Structure 1
């Protein structure tokens, strides 16, 4: 019985592994959705067909009525392959659970939950679908977690100790949620008086919402400027360059695929933008040619962690994974559109020489967040010599 249960569990676990990796690809959205549908059907059809054809034989073997299962060679091979691969990937999945803190950075984190509906005094759901979703038990889509994080950064120049970065990610303007939700996040960040605003992609999903960008983002204020990159959902409108132009018109600086040389508190900084694989990232030559005391990267996806490490980036900010959209007690996230599964779904990590912060993001096209509140990250950089 245990072997059969393990094989079935591994079958579904491997499909989850495939799903997470599929959604990290830079393929066209139509291709990904078509592949998803085929994979979903196969996920259920394969065990059902095998159960219908050979279920009675397996049942007899479980109850000791026969000593050998009369499965075809391909069926036995498939069960063994599922079990072996499931053991390998399952072991890695367990190793990277947040509870074990592997590669995690210990941070001081002060969390304040804003019930944005109550704070704004109005319903934030613009559609019937959103109103219905907001009433679901345990759904936290309007419970914004404003997190003040003291983040130790290895290699941080002493002059930047105490430097304040307001990190926004995954705005997802779909038209389902009133823009006041995003406006509240920007207002809360402004009150904190950041030195710099950083936005790591997935700004707008629906064409009509492009008209909201200027009024929303022109209100952001930081002494050293506001910087942004685009994400995969920004490909969903007719021309993503329009998003870039509207954001620049709102006073934001586009660093997508670029290395921007600037000074932060008199420290020379190479601020790069990585939008790969949906758009571009700076060339290795451009990264090597950037002479700076501090290297700072905005990336939509945490999958670019190794790229940042190769290019000697000190600090990387990312989003994209939404913290898994839902998190199990102890086990943490399950779903995560990343080549690394849920390993970097959210939180703070360090692998030499790069410190990585991954935000859960503010919103999403899926109007459901369970044990995974939307996040506004207010990050204070601290020197670390670990």
Structure 2
């Protein structure tokens, strides 16, 4: 029994560090600061068990090999082990509850998926660098595949005039220069063939300066009857001036709603459109939201684009009906049944991807289309083709 406790304490040690990593990346701190903390935390994660094993080799050996008693360990080590067991047990219980397989707080949606599998010819066409070509050849890596997700979402407050409304949701493009422009062109073409009435892009568009000049050509073809709206994400801070990204997107015909709340027209129906870029940029103030809502009908439908799903509670407080997010990449990798492990969110992997409902807000979280890490395991890039349905 003491040996089992020792193993569980070690597992909890690593689990707590994973939880710390997920939450660290939810902050709006400068990238350099986060990376420095990550490096220190990574070293501590592995050094601590080795230091413990070095200094307390004999009592640990007795527990492992001879079934020794837990009280053979020094008081400080017992306290640390017990703390890991308690905190790890609590977090593990919550992690189990929020596994996708149990569908806790999931929204009422219908999904069908059309998967475009990348072949050798696609690798040659889309991979722009040797690093990208090498990554694409890793067995199980789905980074160049595309899951075209057709999603019907039931919404209680949807106006009758918007029943069947079609939104092409793009997120986390991550133009790093590793992928050729033709990859995103394929995505835009697939979305346009569906004939959406609105394009919505929820941030992380550009990672490197050289790709800012690609935006007008790439996003110009994405036209829809009610326009195209976008916000920025944390990776858009990596270019020298994020306002250049906004300018280029506007040159391509897209509307910047980052940090704003404004009246918007969908099928000639007045709605409230918001853009939340917190914590990296801004979000609409309560006063601004109140003024826009006063100018429209009391029951006006409210849509929000947020880069991070961590803004879910903010959206609920402001009565948002439909929230679209990205940022978490679906965890970048998903285990069978267990789902995602990694997720840069204050809530860990709870909202890594999928559709969720907590009154009055329905939230859709895309797995995104790209990533700095050229690796996706059981987690294909996602093009979300969303049809809004009125709940009867």
TM over 0.5: yes
- Whether 2:370 is the aligned partner of 1:363: answer yes
Q: CA deviation at 1:158?
A: 1.4
1:378 counterpart residue number = 385
Q: CA deviation at 1:114?
A: 1.5
- Whether 2:47 is the aligned partner of 1:45: answer yes
- Whether 2:187 is the aligned partner of 1:185: answer yes
1:289 counterpart residue number = 291
Show structure 2 runs of 5+ residues with no match: none
Q: What are the superposed Cα offsets for residues 159-208 of structure 1, whole Å, 9 maximum, x if unpaired?
A: 11100000000000000000111111111111100010000000000000
Find the aligned partners of 1:308 and 1:82 in 2 and give their Cα distance. Answer: 34
1:59 counterpart residue number = 61
2:74 counterpart residue number = 72
Find the aligned partners of 1:246 and 1:384 in 2 and give their Cα distance. Answer: 38
Contact 1:267 1:294 in 2 (8 A): no
Cα 1:118–1:42 shift into 2, 3 Å: closer
Structure-2-length-normalised TM-score: 0.96
Contact 1:317 1:358 in 2 (8 A): yes
Find the aligned partners of 2:66 and 2:31 in 1 and give their Cα distance. Answer: 49
Q: CA deviation at 1:53?
A: 1.2
How many residue pairs end up in the alignment?
385
Cα 1:81–1:183 shift into 2, 3 Å: same
- Whether 2:374 is the aligned partner of 1:349: answer no
Find the aligned partners of 1:206 and 1:192 in 2 and give their Cα distance. Answer: 30
Contact 2:123 2:136 in 1 (8 A): no
2:226 counterpart residue number = 224
Aligned partner of 1:135 among 127, 132, 137: 137
1:312 counterpart residue number = 319
Structure-1-length-normalised TM-score: 0.97
Show structure 1 runs of 5+ residues with no match: none
Aligned partner of 1:332 among 327, 330, 339: 339
Aligned partner of 1:209 among 185, 208, 211: 211
1:321 counterpart residue number = 328
- Deviating beyond 6 angstroms after TM superposition, the runs of 4 or more aligned structure 1 residues are 118-121
Find the aligned partners of 2:111 and 2:85 in 1 and give their Cα distance. Answer: 40
- Whether 2:7 is the aligned partner of 1:5: answer yes
| RMSD across aligned positions (CA) | 1.4
Q: Return 133-142 or 51-60, whichever deviates more.
A: 51-60
The aligned runs of 1:107-126 (5 Å cut-off) are 107-115=109-117, 122-126=124-128
Contact 2:123 2:133 in 1 (8 A): no
Contact 1:318 1:359 in 2 (8 A): yes
Q: CA deviation at 1:65?
A: 6.0
